[in-house]
Amino acid sequence: MLVDSFGRAHRDLRISVTDRCNFRCTYCMPEDGLVWVPRQDILSFEEIERLARVCVERFGFDSIRLTGGEPTVRAHLPVLVGKLVGLDVDLSMTTNGSALRTLAGPLRAAGLDRVNVSLDSLRPDRFAELTRRHELDTVLDGIDAALEAGFSPVKVNVVCMQGVNDDEVIDFATFGRERGVEVRFIEFMPLDADHTWTPVQVVPGERIVATIAAVYPLRALVRGSDPAEVFEYLDGGGRVGAIPSVTAPFCARCDRVRLTAEGRLRNCLFSVEETDLRSLLRDGGSDDDLAAAIAASVAAKGPGHQIGSVSFVQPPRTMSQIGG
């Protein structure tokens, strides 16, 4: 088991398979785009598998999530899924959903367990403004494809922003109930491309839940290590959740580490320091060397992200470069 100095056990590995994305979301990417990591600097599938295997076999990790950028722009992604299935972990992926009509079936057949689809508006004009792409219908069709492929549950992640899409909370709740997907509202965090985030833009999870409950009565479910506060509809219409990562952070229960596309380990989403595992891999380092580097990184993990405190420093890289 991998335990940090605060006694938190870490079992959840988030792996960014690429820093590239086919959307250019306004809060993830500047309008003129980003400089992509050169292809030769991105971890190969074999390198990803080896690092994941060290985490599982040495430290008991039981959950792996594939992220990006947008993971589905990585060629032959089902091949990577097939390599990771042998580790016997809960294997999921976060995607913008644009390629699921084509890939949902092959990914499910390869052994992927679950998918989370990032979707911040159900209104075509607003979706286009947020993503700089007119592809809402493609994403909605991708969600249907994931359901048809047998993924269960299919979750939809909504970053809720004051004055941007907070008027769609009930629309999304209704969408989840009708579509049979679990919608999770995420508080807007300071990981925006232009570093213009302010607390005023945050819609508190408590307010989101109250808004939904006024229309669709809810019952709270027991909360474990999952960062989401999850509720079920009293009429049996499924479940909905909120992740209050700013107003009620889950840092004390956090069990995640992140591996960037170019092989840097981050012990916190908001860390300003990274551990270079790629160099260890390519310079002939042993599994013992890799395990020692991973353990040292987690041991150095701080108590929390400190958002809202005078000591908080926003990471220089955006979410699309870090991997969610």
AA identity, residue 167: D
- Cα gap 99→290, rounded to integer Å: 34
Cβ neighbours of 304 (radius 10 Å): 16
- Spatial CB neighbours of 210, under 8 Å, sequence gap ≥ 6: none
pLDDT at 43: 97
pLDDT tens by residue, 204-233 = 999 999 999 999 999 999 877 678 899 999
Alpha helices in 132-181 (DSSP H): 136-148, 169-179
Give this prediction's pTM: 0.92
Cβ atoms 158, 139 nearer than 8 A: no
Domain ranges (residues) in the chain = 2-322
Cβ atoms 131, 89 nearer than 8 A: no
Cβ atoms 147, 108 nearer than 8 A: no
**Beta bridge partner(s), residue 320:** none
- Cα gap 7→212, rounded to integer Å: 36
pLDDT at 200: 86
How is 22-59 classified by DSSP, letter by letter?
SS--TTTS-TT--PPPPGGGSPPHHHHHHHHHHHHHHH
Closest CA to 198 of 208, 185, 189, 186: 189
- Cα gap 312→285, rounded to integer Å: 34
Mean per-residue pLDDT, 181-186: 97
pLDDT at 191: 65
Residue 142 region by backbone torsions, left for phi larger than 0, else alpha for psi between -120 and 50, else beta = alpha
Angle at which helices 77-85 and 45-59 pack, to 10 degrees? 20
**Beta bridge partner(s), residue 156:** 117, 183
Q: Is the dihedral of CA 113, 111, 81, 294 positive or negative?
A: positive
Kindly tell me if the per-residue pLDDT of 175 is higher than 90: yes
Cβ atoms 134, 124 nearer than 8 A: yes
Mean pLDDT rounded to a whole number for the chain:
90
Let me know if 167 is exposed, middle or buried by CB neighbors in 10 A (0-12, 13-18, 19+). Answer: exposed
pLDDT at 165: 97
Q: What token pair was written down for 250?
A: 């889950």
Mean per-residue pLDDT, 61-66: 97
- Cα gap 71→87, rounded to integer Å: 20
Question: How far lies 184's CA from each of 81, 122, 210, in Å?
Answer: 25, 14, 14
- The confidence band for 283, taking pLDDT boundaries of 50, 70 and 90, is very high
Q: How many CA atoms lie within 13 A of 262 on its CB side?
A: 15
Let me know if 16 is exposed, middle or buried by CB neighbors in 10 A (0-12, 13-18, 19+). Answer: buried
Choose which CATH entry (3.20.20.70, 3.40.50.10540, 3.40.50.300, 1.10.3720.10) describes domain 2-322.
3.20.20.70
If you ran DSSP here, which 8-state letter would residue 202 be given?
Answer: B
AA identity, residue 155: K
Phi then psi for residue 288, to 5 deg, are -60, -40
pLDDT tens by residue, 4-62 = 778 888 999 999 999 888 777 766 666 666 677 888 999 999 999 999 999 999 999 99
Helices (H) and strands (E) in the chain, counts: 10, 14
Mean per-residue pLDDT, 311-321: 66
